[in-house]
Amino acid sequence: MNAVRGRPAAVNGLGPAGVIAAQLLKAEGATSVTAFELSAKRREEALRHGFVDAALDPSAEETLREYPAGHKPFDVSIDCVGYPNAVRFLMDRTRRHFSLFAVQRHDYVFTPGDYQLILVGYQGHSKPAAEYAMARIAAGELEMRPLATVELPLERYLEGVKLLERQEATKICYRP
């Protein structure tokens, strides 16, 4: 993607979608990928696996000093959180291409300062999108194994759901 290659990028959220988005940004040639995530565990995991170059708590004072609203160090960013405050945080730090990838449950306000942004949409699940993702996996550009952080027998399904609700697991692999 020409919007990504050779440009600094950011991702909001390091759940499964954010981890995949970060890997795709790297695969498409971003010069760096910075993630904003509240969970220290998710930040540590993303850094440990090399999915991102930096992982920061968006609520931390040092993050807000380094990346103040209106300072736009990222040419492209992808929001994988979906909450209005998180979307606003990333929009305020993006110069050009902004994508809303998270499940959209809210309205978002675009201000005059946002007019330079190009809102990049997602056309939904399609055969070309699946083929693109599979090609990235086959090329070794997407690592999916670290997403399944817990393995449980199927009879412990409800336990797995609770782990997901408490964000103690990213994805769960259930064995029959």
* All domains of the chain in start order, with CATH: 8-138 (3.40.50.720), 146-175 (no CATH)
Quick: pLDDT tens for 40-59.
999 999 999 999 999 999 99
- Which of 105 and 21 is assigned the larger pLDDT? 21
Query: What pLDDT shows up at residue 122?
Result: 63
CA–CA gap between residue 32 and residue 96 (Å, rounded): 16
- pLDDT band with cut points at 50, 70 and 90 for residue 33: very high
So what's the pLDDT on residue 123? 63
Tell me the pLDDT band of 128, cut-offs 50, 70 and 90. Answer: confident
In the structure encoding, which two tokens stand for residue 149, read together? 């952080």
Going through 22-89 in order, the beta strands assigned E by DSSP cover 32-36, 54-56, 74-79
